Structure 1
């Protein structure tokens, strides 16, 4: 574990935690918004190392303009229990050294809950960005992380109004909740002009002619254990993608977990068709470029449901539920699960009509991080009024 000494102390210190790549997109605009406040808030960035692919992490940090972490816990992989325990053990010494005014966590990964637990047990208030999201599926590890992190947080920032109702129903005081919008969309707005065009992505992959003769393309992403850890389920997912690719070529940036499972189950030959292009994991700007010009995106990612809504691109979610209902109620997202007939029906509608038009949800205006920074500073100056 490497710890670098921070700069001279300032009135308030916020220890910001990232652990996995979805966290990076959420933390980037928050750090920038804190910096815009000047010397009143000092930020210390801690990377737990939950996602430990050095090359991919560097690619995201560089693309998003995130400063290198002040502290890296280097926890690496492991079971949910092992990973959470290792983060807690290593994070405790950081809090003893830094003694921050508050700990800010984002999202719902294991690092989010682990660091929040250590902080609250040491009497350090926790700030949770992206609070109140619920799939109501306790079989999802992320759902457990969300619920428990919200229960122990003192300041909770929500991305959509349904989050407030979820939190109130769980007994959380309304005085701890702030509706600020979606920091993921801040990052999207900031980087849209820098998105890597699909032509360049294909050129770099030696697949320049993949889209020749076709009117557009679709994008597929899949990584959740419920979709890729069972051979029958994964086979069904891949077969659906192949059926769709007969009408619209599919670009498939493959998550390392998915790639490993395809190899483990001997499913490589299923994808040996000219209409499905397998690519390695993409950086943020590459994924943004793929999504913004796609005719449809098929995914089991929560963040991509939000990004496609902001981009106005039809999204078919390969899950039976979503913790982001606003993407269905107001956005471009449709929940399909892995029902082949349902997916194909939705896809046919996209091809026929262009799919759900949707609209931009309230406060998804690229300014959520600015609101968060202002609220945090006011909260600190007023002596943690909700604590």
Structure 2
């Protein structure tokens, strides 16, 4: 059974890696790895293939950057040709990026069953492009592999029948648990002059935070206060870097003596930093989950989350881009009052095994 496995952007690579590994345990299953090229440079793409033992893609579409419409259209056009050439039995997509939706649409319109990993995840904020991608992908998918019971319930409320829903866990946690010890052995802390618990780790890239100058300034104002109390390591996304220059905020950032700026890091070094961080500042979805499993306090710079489990019984707190809220919650953590928590038992590192077992049980030749 041929399975077209789609990866295109940085968040996809740590999700597709364990799935490919699990699928290869079954002789019946033949993965075809398709890299759309949505993220295409070394820091955003190739380093993940190198570090996570992902094989060379069978197909590289090379679509590059563009607006949501342009990128989605280019992926659809290119992927349709690949489907006609390879004739997969299933199209497997992960997450919520443009590659996810584009390839799902192509599969559905060519009557090829679509499997969506991380289905049912909802922020209920349709101003987020990812939310549109999630909803539309689930509507046209035949197999929905969900991370939590909350995701199952979201799908049921949208009219998805139970026979299409499979609770399997969070595939990102598979990768994190597999490579945790290797990540801890990197020399990233030594190289950056850091020690365990001596810094906060930060990522920032959401358009709502960085494309609006007022919002970006509010976050920088919080950092100016926090960095007097603890070092902050900011892994600088290309989008954020561009906006800092566009809004003439580079000099303001440069004046923060305890703000350490790095280019995007590979998976292992970044995970090494996360494991030993005092706390996390992020607007990423995945880091909310990872920090909860690591039992590290996380302040999410958003008004909502598609990961409610991390709020309800994990280590996550929503702070938006409210300057005072970010500062006060950071100080609480530094005073030993940060959240600790737990996480679903099904986040056990075997999500990809469950996905592969289900795929192997299907009645395809």
> Does the pair score TM above 0.5?
yes
3-state SS of paired residue (2:55): coil
What's the CA shift for 1:202? 5.1
Gaps of 5+ in 2: none
Correspondence 1:226-375 to 2 at 5 A: 226-272=208-254, 273-375=256-358
Counterpart in the other structure of 1:30: 19
Counterpart in the other structure of 2:2: 13
What's the CA shift for 1:150? 0.2
**8 Å Cα contact 1:220/1:298 also seen in 2:** yes
Distance 2:190 2:52 in 1: 23
Counterpart in the other structure of 1:5: none
Counterpart in the other structure of 1:110: 98
3-state SS of paired residue (2:362): helix
| Range with greater deviation from structure 2 (362-371 or 339-348) | 339-348
**8 Å Cα contact 2:43/2:266 also seen in 1:** no
3-state SS of paired residue (2:326): helix
Distance 2:44 2:74 in 1: 22
Q: Cα deviations across residues 167-214 of structure 1 (Å, max 9, x unaligned)?
A: 01111111100001010000000000111567x32554xx43xx48x9
Distance 1:56 1:352 in 2: 35
3-state SS of paired residue (2:280): strand
Q: Cα deviations across residues 286-311 of structure 1 (Å, max 9, x unaligned)?
A: 11011110011000000010110111
Distance 1:54 1:279 in 2: 15
Number of aligned residue pairs: give it: 364
Counterpart in the other structure of 2:77: 89
What's the CA shift for 1:353? 2.1
Distance 2:43 2:341 in 1: 36
Distance 1:197 1:190 in 2: 13
| Range with greater deviation from structure 2 (140-149 or 223-232) | 223-232
**8 Å Cα contact 2:96/2:134 also seen in 1:** yes
**8 Å Cα contact 1:47/1:71 also seen in 2:** yes
Cα pair distance change 1:193/1:202, threshold 3 Å: closer
Distance 2:349 2:266 in 1: 21
The CA RMSD measured in Å over matched residues stands at 1.5
3-state SS of paired residue (2:346): coil
Distance 2:217 2:275 in 1: 28
Q: Cα deviations across residues 125-169 of structure 1 (Å, max 9, x unaligned)?
A: 000000000000000000000000000000000001100111011
Gaps of 5+ in 1: 1-11
Scaled by the length of structure 1, the TM-score of the pair is 0.91
Distance 1:77 1:58 in 2: 16
**8 Å Cα contact 1:309/1:360 also seen in 2:** yes
Q: Cα deviations across residues 214-247 of structure 1 (Å, max 9, x unaligned)?
A: 9611011100111111112111111211211111
3-state SS of paired residue (1:104): strand
| Range with greater deviation from structure 2 (144-153 or 372-381) | 372-381
Counterpart in the other structure of 1:221: 203
